[in-house]
A = this chain, B = another copy of it.
Amino acid sequence: MSFVDLPARSLPPHDAVVVASPHVAPTATVEARRGTFDATLTLRHGGLQTVRIAWELAGPAGAPVALVAGGISAHRHVAANAQFPEAGWAGDLVGGGRTLDPAHTRVLGFDYVGADGRVDVPIDTADQADAVAVLLDLLGIARLQAFVGYSYGALVGLQFAVRHPARVAQLVAVSGAHRAHPYAAAWRALQRKAVALGQLQCADVQGLSLARQFAMLSYRTPEEFEERFDAPPEVSNGRVRVAAEDYLDAAGARFVARTPVNAWLRLSESIDLHRIDPAQVQVPTLVVAVEGDRLVPLSDSVALVEGLGPHGQLRVLRSPYGHDAFLKETDRIDGILAGALRQPGDPA
C-alpha cells in the first residue's frame, strides 16, 4: 500500500447549482489535507484488484470524525476549506453554523472505488465499505462518530455498518435503502443500454449524455417539471422540441465533461448490486426518506426501518426535488442531522 499526497486538483461543481446558504459560513481557517493511496482489495464480484483511494479530511486534529458520502457523482471534496477553496458537492450541508462544522468535527470524504474509471469490473457497495475500512486504518481513525450517507452513500453506509460495526457509532442514511427497487433498477439498466448503444458506434459521449438525461428524470419529480417546463413545445426544422430539452441537454453535457464512461457504468451497476439484510445492522441508524423520491420509494425506507428494529428510526421529508432533495433542502436536512448527531452527552 503506498501513500501519496497529491496537490489540489480542480474539481468541477456538482450538477446542482451551488447557492451558498446564508447559514453556511466558509471554514477558511480549517485545516484540510488530501491524499491518494493504492490498496489491494478482494472485490465481491471482481476478485483481487488494486484500487486507488482518494480522500480528503478537513478539521482539527483529534476531533471526532464524520464520514460524508454522496451520490455516485460525489467525491472526496465535500466542502470548501482553506487548502482547497473550490466549492464542494455538499457545501450547503457542511460548514460554519451547520451540524457538520469542520471547525469542530473532522469531515472525511473519499472518491468511490471505480470513480476514476480504472476498475472495469462489477463493484459492490460491500467493496466500497471495505475500502472505507482500509482508509480509516491508513488515517489512524479507530471509529467514526458518524457515517452520513446520501443516495449511493447511504447504501455504502449500510454496508459499512454490516461489515465494520465496531468502526462507526452512528449511521445516517438519506435517500437509500437495503436494496435497489426493481423499477429503479430497470430504469438504470436502460440508462446503461443507452451507453451501450452509443458505444456500438463510438458515440460513447452521446450515449452517456442520454443516460444522464434519463437519470435526471429519476432524480427529480413531475411537480418540478410542471413548475419549470410548462411551455408548449416548439416545432423547428421539422422536429418537435419540448420545453425541458434545453435543460436536459445541458445536464447531459455537464455530466459527460466530468465523468469517465466506465466509472459511471460500474457505479450505476453497483447501485443495483446493493442488497443487505437490515437485521444485520446493529449500529444506531437514522433513515431519512423523501416522499416522492422516484428511485427510493417511501415503502422501501419503511421496510428498511422495520428491518432495523430497535436500531432504526425514520424521518420523512416531502420535497418537489424527489431523490435530489438532499442537495436542495439543505436547511431541513441540517435540522435533521442536528437532532440525530447532537444527542445530550455525546461528544460535540
Interface, chain A (partner B; CB < 8 A): 45, 121-122, 179-190, 193-194, 197-198, 200-201, 203, 206-207, 210, 213-214, 217, 221-222, 225-226, 228-230, 232-233, 235, 238-245, 248, 269, 272-273, 275, 297
Contact = CB atoms under 8 A, between A and B. Distances in A.
Given A238-B122, A273-B233, A243 B185 contact: yes
A189 B242 contact: yes
B226 A181 contact: yes
A17 to B, nearest CB: 19
A190 B235 CA distance: 16
Contact of A273 (B182, B213, B229, B240): B240
Given A186-B248, A200-B201, 15 more contacts: A122-B240, A179-B232, A182-B222, A182-B226, A184-B222, A185-B229, A185-B233, A189-B242, A190-B210, A190-B248, A194-B194, A197-B206, A200-B203, A233-B273, A235-B273
Number of copies: 2
Nearest to A200: B203
A12 B268 CA distance: 36
B222 A193 contact: no
A210 B197 contact: yes
A244 B181 contact: no
Nearest to A248: B186
Given A197-B210, A198-B197, A206-B197, A182 B238 contact: no
Contacts of A273: 233, 235, 240
Contact of A194 (B187, B210, B228, B248): B210
Contacts of A193: 210, 213
List 10 tightest A-B contacts by C-beta distance, closest first: A201-B201, A183-B222, A240-B269, A183-B225, A186-B244, A182-B229, A185-B242, A182-B225, A189-B242, A45-B235
Contacts of A230: 182
A268 to B, nearest CB: 9
B222 A297 contact: yes
Contacts of A217: 183, 186-187, 190
A122 B116 CA distance: 43
A228 B179 CA distance: 15
A239 B272 CA distance: 11
Contacts of A242: 180, 182, 185-186, 188-189, 272
A122 B238 CA distance: 7
Contacts of A203: 197, 200-201
B222 A181 contact: yes
A181 B194 CA distance: 24
A197 B190 contact: no
A189 B183 CA distance: 20
A158 to B, nearest CB: 16
Contacts of A213: 190, 193
